[in-house]
Amino acid sequence: MEGRVRIAVLGADGRMGRALTRAVLAAAPRATLTAASERAGSAAIGKDVGLLAGTGAVGVAVSGELPTKGAADVWLDFTAATATESVAVAANAACAGLVVGTTGLGAHARAAIEFAALKIPIVYDANYSVGINVMLKLIADAARALGPDYDLEIMETHHRAKHDAPSGTALRLAEALAEATGRDLTSAARYARHGDVGPRTPSEIGIQAIRGGDVVGDHTVFFLGGGDRIEITHRASTRETFAVGAVRAALWVMGRPPALYAMRDVLGT
């Protein structure tokens, strides 16, 4: 066990939770799964987390409570926006590192993360795919090179069960475009067009959401010029890509000074 990062998976019986379990197990010997939890009343409580993830028994039973102090070095939280505030408070009390991938967070949850990051190291990002984080750099470079003559639009597609819209990743893409072009996203973002809205303004960054089926996550950024257009697209075909990135973040954050980090810090981009 020496030298391994001990990891806890929260929301272990969800689709993302199972993917995280598989990713932690695949990261051995650098990582070891030492705790797993689910919401109170879940049918998964007491079951072996490995069996839930389809990997075979690993000797870790799912608990109905968050991990206790000392149970894990780093917690992986991809649960629900309503739970993130309490997770951040509990991780802080347990002195555990935290990797948060839950999107659609409210002001209280974000404040709880920022406060906890004064004492523990936290990686918080909307998307843990290495490809998306490379895309963030590509679109920023493209926006600067193409200049104001190109209109900027974002289209994202997710499965029918996703709660928040637009996706956290789409918002992060919009932030990258705004930063690269010197725009204030609060005033530049255009989330919907309906009826006689008039011509598009040069400063707009359009962000549109599609929901349906079992789409894991597609994001396209359009650069629309007078005589041509460029499209940069990332398509996630499996949640494993996010899980692998999250485990990479957990291995990286272990032992870091207390602070709020992003995936770009993990990747050094």
Q: What is the mean pLDDT of residues 214-221?
A: 96
Q: Which tens digit of pLDDT belongs to each residue from 127-182?
A: 899 899 899 999 999 999 999 999 999 999 999 999 999 999 999 999 999 999 99
pLDDT higher than 50, residue 2 = no
Residue pair 266/249 in contact by the 8 Å Cβ criterion: yes
pLDDT higher than 70, residue 262 = yes
Q: What is the mean pLDDT of residues 121-125?
A: 97
Task: Specify the pLDDT at position 112.
Answer: 97
Q: What is the mean pLDDT of residues 227-236?
A: 97
C-alpha to C-alpha distance for 269 and 267, rounded to whole angstroms? 5
Q: What is the mean pLDDT of residues 245-260?
A: 97
The yes-or-no answer to whether 5-128+239-267 and 130-236 have a common fold is no
What residue type is 18 in one-letter code? R
pLDDT higher than 80, residue 195 = yes
pTM of this structure: 0.79
Q: What is the CATH number of domain 130-236?
A: 3.30.360.10
pLDDT higher than 70, residue 3 = no
pLDDT higher than 80, residue 269 = no
Burial class (CB in 10 A: 0-12, 13-18, 19+), 239: buried
Domain boundaries, the chain: 5-128+239-267, 130-236
Nearest residue to 36 (alpha-carbon basis) of 55, 58, 54, 56: 58
Q: What is the mean pLDDT of residues 247-265?
A: 96
Q: What is the mean pLDDT of residues 32-54?
A: 97
pLDDT band at residue 126 using 50, 70 and 90 as cut-offs: confident
pLDDT higher than 60, residue 1 = no
Q: What is the CA angle 130-23-13, rounded to 5?
A: 115
Q: What is the mean pLDDT of residues 225-252?
A: 95
Task: Specify the pLDDT at position 103.
Answer: 86
Q: Which residues form the catalytic set?
A: 158, 162
Of all residues in the chain, the percent with pLDDT exceeding 90 is 93
Look up the CATH superfamily of 5-128+239-267: NAD(P)-binding Rossmann-like Domain (3.40.50.720)
